Chain A
Amino acid sequence: MKLYKKLFSRWTGVTMLATMGLFACQPEIDEPTLTTGSADFTTYVALGNSLTSGYADGALYREGQINSYPEMLAMSMQKLGGAASFSTPLVPEGNGSGGATGKIELTGFNEKGRPMLTPTQNDPSVFASVAAGGPYQNLGVPGARIGNLTQPGYGSAQGNPFYARFAANPDATLAGEAKAQNPTFFTLWIGNNDVLGYATSGGDQGGDVITDPVEFKASMDKIMLELDGASGGAIANIPNILGAPYFKAVAYNAFEFEPEEEALVTALNAGLRANASTGVRPLVEAGVRAEVRSQVVAGAIETIIRPQVLAVVKDTVTARVRAGAIANALSQGATQAQAEAGADAYIASEEGQAVIQSNYDAYILTEEGKAVIQAGIDEALARPSTQALIESQTDQQMQSEAVQAIIETQLSNQLDALLANLTVSVGANPFIIATERSAEFPLGLRPATPDDLILLTASAYLGAEAAAGRPPLLPERFVLDPSEQAKVDAAVAEYNTVLQAAAGAKYAYVDMNGFFNQVLGGYTYQGVNYDARFILGGAFSLDGVHLTQRGYALAGNEFIKAINAKYNSKLPWIDVNNYKGITFP
Chain B
Amino acid sequence: MKKFLKKATTSIIGAGLLSAGVLLSSSNVMASGYQVVLQGSRVTAMGNCAVGFRAGAPSLFFNPGAMAMEQNSSIMLGGNIVSSSVQYLGANSTTIEETDSPLSPPFFAYGIYKVNEKLTVGLGVVTPFGSTVTWGNEWSGRYSLNELSLKAFVIQPTVSYKVSEKFGIGVGLDIATGSVSLERNLPIAQAGGDSNVLLEGSATPAIGFNIGAYYEASDKVSLGISYRSKIDLTVEEGDATFTVPQLGPIQAAFQATKFDATLPLPSVISVGVGIKPTDKLQLALEWSMTGWDAYQELKFEYDAPVLGSTETVSDRHYKNSSVFKFGAEYMATESLALRGGIYYDQTAVEDGYITPETPDANTIGYTLGLGYTVGERFTIDVHYLLVDKAERENVAAPNSGGIDGTFEAGANVFGLGLSYKFGGSSKASE
Contact = CB atoms under 8 A, between A and B. Distances in A.
A6 B92 contact: no
B408 interface: yes
Interface in B76-93: 83, 85-93
A527 B396 CA distance: 10
Contact of B15 (A112, A524, A572): A524
Contacts of B333: 6
A26 B98 CA distance: 11
Contacts of B95: 575
A26 B410 contact: yes
B11 A531 contact: yes
Nearest to A572: B94
Contacts of B245: 584-585
A26 B247 contact: no
A132 to B, nearest CB: 35
Contacts of B297: none
Given A254-B3, A577-B140, A585-B191, A529 B368 contact: no
Contacts of A7: 372
A79 B409 CA distance: 27
Nearest to B405: A526
A526 B247 contact: no
Interface string A54-70: 00000000000000000
Interface string A243-265: 00000000100101010000000
Interface SS of chain B: mixed
A1 interface: no
B189 A583 contact: yes
Interface stretch (B157-165, B262-270, B271-279, B383-391): B383-391
Contacts of B4: 112-115, 534
Interface centre among B8, B94, B407, by most chain A C-beta atoms within 10 angstroms, is B94
Interface stretch (B47-55, B141-149, B283-291, B420-428): B141-149
A433 to B, nearest CB: 17
A402 interface: no
Interface centre among B6, B11, B83, B332, by most chain A C-beta atoms within 10 angstroms, is B11
Interface of A: 3, 6-7, 9, 11-12, 15, 18-19, 22-23, 25-32, 34, 79, 108-109, 111-115, 251, 254, 256, 258, 428, 459, 522, 524, 526-529, 531, 533-534, 536-538, 557, 560, 572-573, 575, 577-578, 580-585
B12 interface: yes
Interface centre among A12, A108, A527, A528, by most chain B C-beta atoms within 10 angstroms, is A527
B250 A27 contact: no
Contacts of A114: 1-2, 4-5
A23 B412 CA distance: 6
A582 B4 CA distance: 16
Interface string B1-32: 11111101101111110000000000000000
B362 to A, nearest CB: 13
Contact of A19 (B92, B191, B368): B368
Nearest to B244: A584
B374 interface: yes
B218 interface: no
16 contacts: A9-B336, A11-B370, A15-B338, A23-B83, A25-B410, A29-B88, A29-B406, A112-B2, A528-B16, A528-B143, A529-B12, A529-B16, A531-B11, A560-B92, A584-B189, A584-B247
Contacts of A529: 11-16, 187
Interface centre among A15, A113, A251, A428, by most chain B C-beta atoms within 10 angstroms, is A113
Contacts of B249: 109, 113
A531 B10 CA distance: 11
Contacts of B335: 6
Contacts of A111: 248
Given A19-B384, A22-B384, A536 B191 contact: no
B409 to A, nearest CB: 6
Given A28-B408, A575-B90, 5 more contacts: A23-B83, A29-B87, A112-B1, A524-B398, A529-B14
A6 B380 CA distance: 12
B2 A113 contact: yes
A585 B247 contact: yes
A572 B405 CA distance: 13
Contacts of B412: 22-23, 25
A575 B188 CA distance: 18
Interface of B: 1-6, 8-9, 11-16, 83, 85-96, 140-144, 187-191, 245, 247-250, 332-333, 335-336, 338, 366, 368, 370, 372, 374, 384, 386, 388-389, 391, 398, 401, 403-404, 406-410, 412, 414
Contact of B336 (A6, A34, A526): A6
Contacts of B389: 27
Contacts of A109: 5, 247-250
B189 A18 contact: no
Contacts of A31: 89, 94, 96
Contacts of B188: 584
A524 B96 contact: no
Nearest to B6: A113
A115 B247 CA distance: 10
B85 A527 contact: no
A531 B141 CA distance: 19
A6 B1 contact: no
B415 to A, nearest CB: 11
Nearest to B81: A23
B141 A580 contact: no
Given A538-B12, A584-B189, A29 B96 contact: yes
B370 A12 contact: yes
B189 A580 contact: yes
Interface centre among A9, A115, A577, by most chain B C-beta atoms within 10 angstroms, is A577
Interface centre among B4, B93, B142, by most chain A C-beta atoms within 10 angstroms, is B4
A111 B1 CA distance: 11
A108 to B, nearest CB: 6
A573 B92 contact: yes
Contacts of B1: 112-114, 254, 256, 459
Contacts of A534: 4
A581 B245 CA distance: 14
A32 B96 CA distance: 10
Given A109-B249, A529-B14, A536-B8, A27 B87 contact: yes
B183 to A, nearest CB: 14
A27 B5 contact: no
Contact of B368 (A15, A113, A428): A15
